[in-house]
């Protein structure tokens, strides 16, 4: 019965290797085996719910260095799952939806239980990419959410650059967050996936014109507007999340911001999610290097890149510095490595062809 429920992930992986799309790696093979086995366990639980406590864990947590193939493994798994009882989110987008649902249920009894039960009705599998806990609000939300979610018949697959024991390291009230770490370590298959090569860096480089150092973006903005046959409105405001943001220029499918208006407080992740849903291309000028003390701006920039990357939003940047000089040191230096890698990927030809 198990073979009938298999997703045959290794067969698909070996086909990609044979075609030269990827290089075979034993660690990736192991991850795919665990994902396939966990899927089979999850399927058995749905068929034989009375056996759930006798079966192995169905949750998977994959962590490793930037470019090690974590997201590729998760996406290969997700695409192989039949039917529509599945969901894939960027981790922060998922938390944002949970927070909005909690707000809508404010005043009701056990709102988190209601939310989790509804998720369990809709999905058999939930994939969450790039787990990273950055503040006490996220930490306490996860403290309430994750144990409830892992108790349901929903298979969770999470990717992260960070091992479970290092999540929210040195964070405020971290002792209260430890229950999240304990649940991950106890109820999930935790696997490390570390490679020396960042596969995103090997992809085709983007055309040089999409990252400009101290050059005017206006000619490029005008050329894209002309190509798409769209009128330009200059020096206006854009309403996002019921707040006005100054913009240098806007068309039906493009918008141009100065850095200080898009990546500094009071901007938030909800703003980026709405912008990504409304525009195909985003131009940002006057991007400046981050200082060591610029943690809030760095976090917002990480959010921005993650949201735009996940939605395939095309990004054109003008900066006072080369990309590798944007953030040389500070408390967010480690997670910013992933952001740089994604920025490089977003400027490759294949990304622009999506």
CATH code of the domain containing 345:
3.40.50
189 compared with 44, residue with greater pLDDT: 189
Measured between alpha carbons, how far is 101 from 143 in angstroms, rounded to an integer? 16
Q: Does residue 288 belong to any structural domain of this protein?
A: yes
Q: Does residue 65 belong to any structural domain of this protein?
A: yes
Q: Does residue 329 belong to any structural domain of this protein?
A: yes
Segment 295-345, tens digit of pLDDT: 999 999 999 998 898 878 899 999 989 999 999 999 999 889 989 989 988
Tell me the pLDDT band of 3, cut-offs 50, 70 and 90.
very low
Predicted confidence (pLDDT) at residue 206 exceeds the cutoff of 50: no
CATH code of the domain containing 96:
3.40.50.300
Segment 53-62, tens digit of pLDDT: 433 589 999 9
Segment 236-282, tens digit of pLDDT: 999 988 889 999 999 988 999 999 999 988 998 889 988 988 888 99
65 compared with 11, residue with greater pLDDT: 11
Segment 14-28, tens digit of pLDDT: 998 888 877 888 899
Q: How many structural domains compose the chain?
A: 2
179 and 31 in a common domain: yes
158 and 233 in a common domain: no
Q: Does residue 197 belong to any structural domain of this protein?
A: no
299 and 325 in a common domain: yes
pTM, two decimals, is 0.61
134 and 43 in a common domain: yes
Q: Does residue 198 belong to any structural domain of this protein?
A: no
The residue behind tokens 């058999």 is 124
Segment 53-89, tens digit of pLDDT: 433 589 999 998 766 788 889 999 999 999 999 999 8
19 and 133 in a common domain: yes
The residue behind tokens 């929210």 is 168
176 and 226 in a common domain: no
* Residue span of the structural domain in which 126 resides: 2-192
277 and 176 in a common domain: no
Tell me the pLDDT band of 1, cut-offs 50, 70 and 90.
very low
Predicted confidence (pLDDT) at residue 158 exceeds the cutoff of 90: yes
| Residue-averaged pLDDT of the chain | 86
Segment 171-203, tens digit of pLDDT: 889 999 999 999 999 999 999 987 645 554 444
């Amino acid at each position: 019965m198990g073979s009938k429920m298999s997703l045959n992930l290794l067969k698909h992986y070996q086909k990609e290797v044979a075609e030269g799309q990827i290089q075979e790696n034993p660690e990736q093979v192991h991850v795919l085996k665990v994902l396939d086995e966990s899927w089979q366990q999850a399927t058995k639980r749905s068929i034989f719910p009375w056996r759930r406590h006798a079966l192995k864990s169905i949750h998977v947590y994959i962590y490793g260095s930037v470019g090690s193939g974590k997201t590729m493994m998760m996406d290969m798994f997700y695409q192989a799952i039949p039917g529509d009882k599945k969901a894939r989110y960027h981790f922060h987008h998922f938390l944002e939806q949970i927070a909005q649902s909690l707000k809508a249920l404010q005043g009701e009894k056990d709102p988190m239980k209601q939310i989790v039960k509804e998720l369990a009705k809709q999905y058999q599998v939930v994939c969450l990419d790039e787990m990273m806990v950055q503040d006490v609000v996220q930490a306490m939300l996860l403290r309430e959410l994750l144990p409830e979610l892992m108790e349901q018949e929903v298979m969770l697959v999470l990717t992260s650059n960070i091992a479970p024991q290092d999540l929210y390291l040195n964070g405020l009230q971290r002792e209260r967050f430890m229950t999240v770490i304990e649940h991950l370590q106890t109820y999930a298959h935790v696997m490390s996936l570390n490679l020396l090569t960042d596969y995103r860096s090997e992809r085709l480089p983007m055309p040089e014109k999409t990252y400009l150092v101290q050059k005017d973006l206006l000619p490029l903005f005008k050329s894209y507007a002309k190509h798409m046959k769209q009128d330009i409105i200059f020096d206006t405001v854009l309403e996002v999340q019921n707040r006005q943001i100054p913009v240098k220029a806007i068309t039906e499918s493009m918008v141009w911001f100065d850095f200080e208006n898009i990546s500094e407080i009071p901007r938030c992740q909800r703003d980026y999610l709405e912008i990504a849903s409304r525009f195909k291309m985003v131009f940002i000028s006057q991007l400046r290097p981050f200082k060591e003390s610029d943690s809030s701006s760095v976090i917002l920039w990480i959010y921005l890149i993650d949201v735009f990357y996940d939605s395939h939003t095309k990004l054109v940047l003008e900066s006072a510095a080369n990309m590798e000089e944007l953030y040389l040191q500070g408390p967010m230096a480690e997670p910013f490595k992933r952001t740089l890698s994604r920025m490089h990927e977003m400027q490759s030809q294949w990304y622009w062809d999506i």
